Amino acid sequence: MTSSPREIRIVVADDHLVVRTGFAALLDTQPDFTVVGTASDGSQAIQVCTDLSPDVVLMDVRMPGMDGITATRRLTGEKSETARVLILTTFDLDHYVYDALCAGASGFLLKDVTAESLFEAVRVVANGEALLAPNVTRRLIAEFTRLRPQEPDEPAPELDALTVRETQVLRLVADGLSNAEIAARLVITEETVKTHVSRVLAKLGLRDRTQAVILAYETGLVVPKAREPRT
37 falls within a domain: yes
**pLDDT given at position 231:** 39
CATH number of the domain to which 60 belongs: 3.40.50.2300
pLDDT of residue 125: 84
pLDDT at residue 79 greater than cutoff 80? no
pLDDT in tens, 179-189: 888 999 999 99
pLDDT of residue 173: 86
Name the pTM for this structure.
0.69
Beta strands 8-13 and 84-89: pairing type?
unpaired
Q: Is 196 part of a structural domain of the chain?
A: yes
Residues 71 and 168 in one domain: no
Query: For residue range 82-129, what is the model confidence (pLDDT) as tens digits?
Result: 788 998 877 666 567 777 777 888 888 878 888 998 998 899 888 776
The answer to whether residue 167 sits within a structural domain is yes
Same-domain pairing of 56 and 126: yes
121 & 164 share domain: no
Between 16 and 145, the higher pLDDT residue = 16
Instruction: Kindly state whether residues 111 and 214 are assigned to the same domain.
Output: no
| Residue 229, pLDDT above cutoff 50 | no
Residue 161 counted as domain residue: yes
Same domain, 97 and 186: no
The 10s digit of each residue's pLDDT in 121-167 is 899 888 776 666 555 655 666 666 566 555 555 556 778 899 999 99
Mean of pLDDT values over 6-21: 93
- In this structure, the answer to whether residues 121 and 23 fall within a common structural domain is yes
Whether residue 158 is found in the same domain as residue 127 = no
Same domain, 125 and 211: no
Q: Which structural domain range is residue 126 located in?
A: 8-131
Q: Which of these three, 79, 99, 131, is where a domain ends?
A: 131
Q: Are residues 62 and 26 located together in one domain of the fold?
A: yes
Q: What is the pLDDT of residues 52-64, one digit of tens each?
A: 999 999 999 889 8
Query: What is the number of domains present in the chain?
Result: 2
User: 187: which residues sit within 8 A by CB, 6+ positions away?
Assistant: none
Q: Does 162 share its domain with 196? A: yes
User: Does one domain contain both 77 and 185?
Assistant: no
- Average pLDDT for residues 187-205, to the nearest whole number? 92
Looking at residue 94, its pLDDT comes to 57
| Model confidence at 12: pLDDT above 70 | yes
**Are 196 and 160 in the same domain?**
yes
